[in-house]
Structure formats: structure tokens, C-alpha cells
Amino acid sequence: MAVSVLTYDTAHPGDTSDLLAKLSGFDVSRIKKLALLAKTEGNAELNDYSREYALQSATIALRAHGGDALVHRTIFLFSTGCEGAITPFGYLFIDYADAEGTQPINDRALTIGCARSRALLPHEIGRVMHADMVAATVNSAMADTGVSRDDVALVIVKTPVAGASSSSSSSTESRITSGQSKAIGALGAGIALGEVDRSRIKGFDEDPLLYTRRAMVFSGTEFESVEVLVLANKPGASGNLSVHTGFLKDLLDADAIRRTFAAAGCKIDGGTVTDSDRVAAVLLKVGVAADGRLRGRRTTIKSSHIDMDKQVRAAVSGVIGSILGTTRSFISANTVHQAPPGGGLCACIIAGER
């Protein structure tokens, strides 16, 4: 049993040919869990359906490949927005029962834990019990792979937003925003990780000093339940991968990214990672300060017709791309309660000896 992390490309959001090609190297019956983390390339506005299209296409592909049983063993996380130096692509996490076994090369190795809550009722969304449900789902995901919170490097959370179509009322007051849904997910993850004191939670997206440090949270109107993917380094696990986390003070903080890779055992020379072939995955989530300022100066990130998340993703694609020499990074924005305001999180999965 070991976790593999593969990368697949997409010619468009509905393209699953490379996903299936990569899957074809694995015996379906020995796939214990799958997780798809994909960046899709829609316009990332209210009328973007690229994520739903990609999700439907991937589900069709997996069902054709391994039946409903494979679909049920899979967690899908599709995030929209590939602005700048970003290739639309997906990471495929495969927890696989390998007959020969993979000898551990470090004392710990990457494992993944998955969990899904029951569907939330519309009136539950946006309340403290929503955060509690996130926390419980994170705990289930840790239990799923037998790790403690200290083993965890990254928690990926999907959390629902009550969409317009799910409500019979025309009231907008009772709905929560995507940002609030992410805030709830972050605080819930923080409770489970021991990084957020539940008693300090007064509301969502209110206290910027209350944040978790090892979570990336995504929201969507198409979700009904909370889903969690935990990435952890488990003592004694087999496999040659390990996962590492670092913290960016702002979106230009290349030094923090380099330190994260260095701590993960990579070689850095002249500002770039020189053994980037060992990098199995990199995930970044970075935000921007409330006043839109960066390094003490005004930017137009929050005062443009282009949504701030798009500008952040594009700028970060330059930072990470110039360090790793690649356009395949999973970059997202909006770090509400997932970092101090303007800060961010970098996670990487590295193959080989640390």
C-alpha cells in the first residue's frame, strides 16, 4: 500500500484522455482510494460551468473505467482559474495496494485520508454547526488513514455554498457567500488541527487573526456535503513520497517557497530548485491584504474589473514558475482564515530521500 501522485493534462475541461491513460497503468481492483485535484480553465465568474463540465466528464470517465464503485472511492476537487503561467491539469492521487510493496525510503511516507459528511441542509450552511461538521469530517479523514493531527501536512476541504437554485426564497440575506463558506471550512479545519480555538469563533470572515495554517479550502454551489482530503506523512508507511508545508508572508515571498523546498530536501541553487524532477506536486494558496497593498504600496488587485483571485493566481504563477521552471502548479487564492491577511500557504510533495 503506497500513494502515487501522477499528473495528467487536459486539452479542455471535458478532456479525460490523459487521465484515463495515466489510470491505465493501475489495476482498478487494487485502487483503494483516488483523489483528483484539478485546475480548470473557465472564466471563474458566476456564469462559469467549466468545473461542473469537468466534474461530469471525469465521473463519466471513471465510471467507464471502474464502474460506480471506483467513482465512490474517489474524491474530486476541481478548482477554476488558470490565469498566467498555469497549465490546466490535474493531480491524480492513487492509494494503491502494491503486491510487491514499495520499500519505505524515509521513516515516514505520504498517505491520504478521505472523508465525506452527510449532505448539509440549507439552514445548516453558514452556521457554527457547519464548522463543526468540517472539523468532524477532518477528524474522520485523519482516522481513515490512521494519522494524528501532528502528522498532517495539508488538509484540503470542499465545503458547500447554498446556491440560488437551492433556495425557494428570493432573499439574498440568508445566503452565504463563497468567501464565507471558505471561512467556515477553514475554521472547522483549524478546530480539528488544534490551530483554532473554537470558543474564539464569533463569525465567519470577521477576525483575520484567527486562522488555520495547514488547510486549503474550496467552496462550490454544486457541493451538498463537506469533503476532506488529508495529506500526511505517516510513520512507517511505504512509498517514496513525502509532503511538506511552508508559509508565505505575501504573494511575492519567493524565499518562503524556496525554504519550503529546501526543508523538503530539494536542492536550491541561484534561486531555483535544481532537482525539480523530484517534485511530484506543488499546491499554493495565497491571498492579498484587505487594503490591496503589497510591500507597502498600492496595487489594483482589489480595484480592477479583473477579480482579485485571478490577479493573484497569475502573479503567483510567475513566482513559483520561475523557481520550479514549470507551469504545472495548483494555485488558488482567497486565504480567508487559512493564513494571516495577505499571507499564504505552500505545500509540496517530493519523491525520494529527504
Q: Which residues contact 219 (CB under 8 A, 6 or more apart)?
A: 158, 159, 160, 161, 178, 181, 182, 185
**Closer Cβ to a second copy, 46 or 99, answer by number:** 46
Binding letters toward a second copy, positions 215-254, x by CB under 8 A: ------------------------------------xxxx
Identity (one letter) of the amino acid at 97? Answer: A
- Find the largest Cα–Cα distance for the chain: 58
Q: Which three cell numbers stand for residue 43?
A: 472564466
**Closer Cβ to a second copy, 145 or 181, answer by number:** 181
Q: What is the CA radius of gyration of the chain?
A: 19
| 182 binds a second copy, rule: CB under 8 A | no
CA angle 335, 338, 344 (to 5 degrees): 60
Residue 274: what are its φ and ψ, rounded to 5°?
-90, -15
Q: What is the DSSP letter of 259?
A: H
Are 291 and 308 within 8 A, CB to CB?
Answer: no
**Closer Cβ to a second copy, 135 or 331, answer by number:** 331
Q: Which parts of 14-53 interact with a second copy (CB under 8 A)? A: 14, 41-43, 45-50, 52-53
In whole angstroms, the minimum distance from the beta carbon of 73 to a second copy comes to 22
| 327 binds a second copy, rule: CB under 8 A | yes
Q: Which residues pair with 297 in a beta bridge?
A: 294
Q: Is residue 236 classed exposed, middle or buried when 0-12, 13-18 and 19+ CB atoms within 10 A define those classes?
A: exposed
Q: Which three cell numbers stand for residue 295?
A: 510591500
Choose the binding region for a second copy from 6-14, 63-71, 91-99, 102-110 (rule: CB under 8 A).
6-14
Choose the binding region for a second copy from 65-73, 140-148, 212-220, 325-333 (rule: CB under 8 A).
325-333
| 340 binds a second copy, rule: CB under 8 A | no
Q: What is the DSSP letter of 297?
A: B
Rounded (10°) CA dihedral 83, 43, 7, 215: 80
In whole angstroms, the minimum distance from the beta carbon of 128 to a second copy comes to 21
Q: Which parts of 59-98 interact with a second copy (CB under 8 A)? A: 82-89
Gap between the Cα atoms of 123 and 104, Å rounded: 47
In whole angstroms, the minimum distance from the beta carbon of 306 to a second copy comes to 6
Gap between the Cα atoms of 244 and 253, Å rounded: 17
Gap between the Cα atoms of 253 and 320, Å rounded: 10
Of 64, 69, 119, 306, the one binding a second copy by CB under 8 A: 306
| # binding residues, a second copy (CB under 8 A) | 72
In whole angstroms, the minimum distance from the beta carbon of 257 to a second copy comes to 8
Q: Which parts of 142-171 interact with a second copy (CB under 8 A)? A: 164-165, 170-171
Gap between the Cα atoms of 127 and 145, Å rounded: 28
In whole angstroms, the minimum distance from the beta carbon of 192 to a second copy comes to 29
Of 110, 133, 316, 333, the one binding a second copy by CB under 8 A: 316
**Closer Cβ to a second copy, 129 or 210, answer by number:** 210
**Closer Cβ to a second copy, 153 or 315, answer by number:** 315
**Closer Cβ to a second copy, 12 or 118, answer by number:** 12
| 289 binds a second copy, rule: CB under 8 A | yes
In whole angstroms, the minimum distance from the beta carbon of 313 to a second copy comes to 8
Of 27, 64, 290, 353, the one binding a second copy by CB under 8 A: 290
Are 109 and 233 within 8 A, CB to CB?
Answer: yes
